[in-house]
Structure 1
Amino acid sequence: MNRQIAIIGSSGGNLYNLGGKEPQKLLDEILLQMESAGLTCVALQFIAAQSSMDSAKETTLAALYSWSISQGAPVIISEGSLKEVNEAARLLDREIAEQIELGEIEGIISMSADPVNTNRHAFEAAAKHKLPLTGTGGTSMAMLQSKGVHVIAASGTTGTTNRTRAVAFVTSLSKHWGLSYRPVIGGGAAAAIHAASSTSPWKRINIRGIMMASLPGFIGMALILAASKIPGLSALTSVFDLMIKALPVIIAVIAAKQISELDEVSIVAGIVAGVLSVEGGIIGGMIGGIGAGLIVHYVFRKCVEWRFPATTVNIVAGGISGLIAGLIVYFLIAPIALSAGELIRFLIETLVSWSPALAGLIAGLLIWPAIIGGVYHAAILPIVLLEMELTSNSFLGAVDMVGLVMVSAGITLANIIAPRDKGEAAVAAPGFAINMGFGTFVEAAYPFMFSNKLVFAGAVASAGLGGLLVGIFEVRGTAYVPSFLGPVTSNNTIGFLISMAASLLCSFLITFFVNKMSVYRNSKPAVSM
């Protein structure tokens, strides 16, 4: 008998730029992978807004997807303002909670959900019945863990795609129940034609999403640089130089694929455009990739309408589209794009050179408000990647590691050693391990920061201290790598190590003493009158 699954969530903040703004495709990929593992969807509550939840308002247009048993597919049951859709979602939330109470749901997939409001009853029921839950969304997953939900796998959203998320969800549930599962690679001519005739490619241009999806290439470059410093591996320096030249190609491929969504055809177009855009740096690569994605979309559609043979369609759409976009960048745009990238790096270096310590302090103090407010991925991360293009590390990348990752690690470590209650230690442990082991998932600290103003203030102060030290030592580094590799990939190993240790220790001590005071106050007997 197939296991019965509920899918709960929203188009999210960061998720919106990585598939959430096209909910039908996102849900279809999950359902495709579920079917391969013998999992059946029996409940669905997905709020799809027409903008990122980081900037959405009550008046933002949205739609509520539910599950139609008769159609065996997602259906829209409410449309209107986000406020109206949320009200409808609360009613559906109670229905799903009732299904859980009746034993009709055995597992949950969560994406950027709202455990406090629109999904409260369903997750309370899930916690009560210990249903296995897997999902993404740093803030929501951390809150679910703090509420006692049986989370079997959790992660943030950065760097994921609809397919990688779906495969991760189904793999986690399959392993939990011992089910056989082989990921399905969808696509084919029918899917390509559908993609070519759906949403306008102009609406899929998203610089933030392109940069985030390209991040693994930059991290790979940083790791090669670190390895080249090991005695006997100096030959890797030439590999590092080659990888720098490959970065525009990576970005061009990501851009072309995201915009046209034609899989192999768009990948070929992106590669051709990227190779011709190398002299323009990563800005040139992005322009070339965007151009290739737009051109391949229209060329592919026309070739299909003209009934070209499928092979000819791929050759014309992939090869010629990439050539047109790449040649435009090569002859016209590359010098301008390269100068733009150099100007941005020059401005950063100039600001830092005026007062490195002050620049580090300000960056550290602002980095938590930036990531909570949704500014980090939109503005800071692209600048980090522009800095890394030249030397594989950056000033803001170092502030990221000390101000976010190490501070989150310190807060979670304090809640492992001295939690306010025993349940918090179990919530904090996975977050600490991911922070230290992978240099990401800083949202693990959110439950502790948002529940205590002193811990929140301590996080900001610790980030400021770390940023100050980064400035004093003039460190250039990166996050998104294991913590022990951070200093090795930097330009100042000792300085980066001191900065990381200081911010971790500061956030740890503040949280430790705040927790101790909280436990002491709660254990103090009430004075009777």
Structure 2
Amino acid sequence: MKKIAIIGSSGGNLYNLGGKDPEKLLQEIITQSDAAGLTISAVQFIAAAESMDSIKDTTKAKVFTFDKHGQPAEMFHGLLAEANKAAVELDKDIAQKIRNGQIDGLILMSADPEGTNKQAIEAAVEMKLPIVGTGGTSMAMIGSKGANIIAQSGTTGTTSRTRAISFITSLCKIWGIKYQPVIGASSKNPSAQQGNVFKRINIRGIMVSALPGFIAMAIVLALSQIPGLSGMKEVFDVMIQALPVVVAVIAAKQVSDLDEVSIVSGVIAGILSVNGGIIGGIIGGILAGILVQFLFKKCIQWRFPMTTVNIVAGGFSGLIAGLIVYYLLAPLALQIGDGFKAAIEFAINFNPILAGVVAGLLIWPAILGGIYHAAILPIVLLEMEKTGASFLGAVDMVGLVMVSAGINLANVIAPRDKGEAAAATPGFLINMGFGTFVEAAYPFMFSNKAVFAGAILSAGAGGALVGMFNVRGTAYVPTFTAPLLTNNMAGLIIAMAAALILSFIITIIANKAAGLMRKKDNAVKGKAENPKSYKAE
């Protein structure tokens, strides 16, 4: 097992590219080292409170090393001049470890070969240790000393994650070690994903993450209806055009998760995928994410400087993915999106009340069966792409949120057990205040079949009213604002109120019936346990 040491400082340009967050910067290297089976045996990192391009001896600074658990630990906190003195002692220890054969390679970041890192670098030169690092000026000085530098770069355009992957890739290549970068997590997160990039493609995750953008668009649409704010319609049109960019960025980030590099790639791909709608944006973003990681790895293997690696990976991947969608896939993606919306509109035009009833009756089974986020929410967002509101979005608010609120309210006012009121109160407040957390009704639905049936019945009735009034709306907003984000304020209010009241009444009746049944059972049980006392009576 190869052992490495991390040496350096928060630097000048590096300070703005991860150096001001030393724990995260070091943790990224730990994560990738663990993935490669490398051991970090020493750390000496000086983190200043500001960029070292403009520091003074009185600037505050910290010195980081490793604790006994192999995690970054602050060993000194004070003025920079004092921090440098503390770092020199670590420098001496690392130099001794190098000469004793306890360190096999160095990772340098904005190191100081003439000061706080002088002894360790001199020892590395003597032992011909492979060195990787960033910091244009410092790496040039270290190279002039005859150091065995196998990969070097400036810091411009890099991130903590891309630097860490580059460092470990270069060291593993020279040592002949197989290494697969960890994407999307730190060593503290056991769900870190390695290997096949295609396994990180998650359409549901992309759509759910994009939801705030759609809600923002709906809010702009509502504002444009206010007298004097008609100019907001132009803003609404701009936001519609921006939605493919939003989903493309999210897709690229989730697939590659190379921080700013993947974000830039997603933006470029999204801009070129606008003509394909949000499906085109998703496709462009996914392609960009795949290409980002592929080009990133190839450029590192070809030993490009890190700045160039990021430029090629971020810029070229977004451009290639975007052009593929722009010239080849945009018309098909747009037709697919329009097909989903046309199917919904056909059902509504055929019989709006029936469509509402079916949607309402199915929405609880859908969310309980895990289908909601995978199928219904994406269709809601596709509907909202053109108009800012959705038929299924209105059914969501009425059939899920308001029904859950009715069930919770009933258990606040007339619970089967006193303890249930305490559990139902926060659920009701979140339902009404934020338009979400319908799961709060689950305990009451699962413990009483009548409440469960009442929830489905209430959702069906509410859906029927949504269809009757031809309502379009959205969920995930406070209930008192939902009527403002619809095409039919009165219709949505009636549907919301009906669903809440019906589920409330059914739950009250079910709770009373359950209470009477419990009393009867207790009486029978008591009579069986004490037959003499009942006989005497």
Shift of 1:417: 0.9
Q: Which has the higher contact order (CA 8 A, sep 6+)?
A: 1
Shift of 1:195: 3.8
Q: 1:201 aligns with which of 197, 200, 210?
A: 197
Shift of 1:209: 1.3
Q: Is the 8 A contact 1:358 1:468 kept in 2?
A: yes
The residue number in structure 2 matching 1:474 is 470
Does the alignment pair 1:287 with 2:261? no
The residue number in structure 2 matching 1:360 is 356
Does the alignment pair 1:483 with 2:457? no
Q: 1:189 aligns with which of 148, 163, 170?
A: 163
The residue number in structure 2 matching 1:217 is 213
Shift of 1:186: 7.3
Partners of 1:270 and 1:188 in 2: CA distance:
16
Aligned to 2:483, the other structure's residue is in SS state coil
Output the amino acid matched with 2:221: L
Counterparts of 1:63-82 in structure 2 under 5 Å?
none
For residues 467-507 of structure 1, what are the alpha-carbon distances to aligned partners after superposition, in whole Å with 9 as ceiling and x for unaligned? 01011111111111110111111111100110000000000
Counterparts of 1:122-141 in structure 2 under 5 Å?
none
Q: Is the 8 A contact 1:253 1:274 kept in 2?
A: yes
Output the amino acid matched with 2:305: P
Q: 1:308 aligns with which of 297, 304, 307?
A: 304
The residue number in structure 1 matching 2:440 is 444
Partners of 1:195 and 1:257 in 2: CA distance:
14
Does the alignment pair 1:413 with 2:409? yes
The residue number in structure 2 matching 1:401 is 397
Aligned to 1:265, the other structure's residue is in SS state helix
Counterparts of 1:28-43 in structure 2 under 5 Å?
none
For residues 337-379 of structure 1, what are the alpha-carbon distances to aligned partners after superposition, in whole Å with 9 as ceiling and x for unaligned? 1122112211110111100000100110111011001111111
Shift of 1:519: 2.6
Shift in alpha-carbon separation, 1:231–1:202, aligned structure 2, 3 A: same
Partners of 1:429 and 1:314 in 2: CA distance:
50
Partners of 1:402 and 1:283 in 2: CA distance:
27
**What's the % identity of the aligned pairs?**
65
What is the aligned length? 354
Does the alignment pair 1:266 with 2:240? no
Partners of 1:270 and 1:390 in 2: CA distance:
22
Aligned to 2:523, the other structure's residue is in SS state coil
Partners of 1:410 and 1:252 in 2: CA distance:
38
Partners of 2:311 and 2:160 in 1: CA distance:
21
Partners of 1:299 and 1:199 in 2: CA distance:
15
The residue number in structure 2 matching 1:526 is 523
Output the amino acid matched with 1:327: L
RMSD value over aligned CA atoms? 2.3
Shift of 1:523: 4.0
Partners of 1:191 and 1:425 in 2: CA distance:
52
Q: Is the 8 A contact 1:195 1:261 kept in 2?
A: no
Output the amino acid matched with 2:214: F
Q: Is the 8 A contact 2:434 2:478 kept in 1?
A: yes
Output the amino acid matched with 1:365: L
* Greater Rg over alpha carbons, structure: 2
Counterparts of 1:329-368 in structure 2 under 5 Å?
329-368=325-364
The residue number in structure 1 matching 2:461 is 465
For residues 247-282 of structure 1, what are the alpha-carbon distances to aligned partners after superposition, in whole Å with 9 as ceiling and x for unaligned? 000010011111111111000000000000001111
Shift of 1:517: 2.5
Q: Is the 8 A contact 1:224 1:239 kept in 2?
A: yes
Partners of 1:372 and 1:334 in 2: CA distance:
34
Output the amino acid matched with 1:190: A
Q: 1:431 aligns with which of 416, 427, 434?
A: 427
Partners of 2:335 and 2:474 in 1: CA distance:
24
Shift of 1:191: 5.5
The residue number in structure 2 matching 1:154 is none
Output the amino acid matched with 1:208: R
For residues 175-207 of structure 1, what are the alpha-carbon distances to aligned partners after superposition, in whole Å with 9 as ceiling and x for unaligned? xxxxxxxxxx97452168734693211111111
Counterparts of 1:62-101 in structure 2 under 5 Å?
none
Partners of 1:480 and 1:199 in 2: CA distance:
35
Does the alignment pair 1:515 with 2:511? yes
The residue number in structure 1 matching 2:495 is 499
Aligned to 1:526, the other structure's residue is in SS state helix
Q: Is the 8 A contact 1:195 1:262 kept in 2?
A: no
Output the amino acid matched with 2:328: L
Partners of 2:367 and 2:272 in 1: CA distance:
35
Q: Is the 8 A contact 1:275 1:326 kept in 2?
A: yes
Q: Is the 8 A contact 1:281 1:341 kept in 2?
A: yes
Shift of 1:229: 1.7
Aligned to 1:487, the other structure's residue is in SS state helix
Shift of 1:245: 0.3
Q: Is the 8 A contact 2:162 2:258 kept in 1?
A: no
Counterparts of 1:371-390 in structure 2 under 5 Å?
371-390=367-386
Shift in alpha-carbon separation, 1:275–1:195, aligned structure 2, 3 A: farther
Shift of 1:516: 2.1
Partners of 2:217 and 2:331 in 1: CA distance:
24
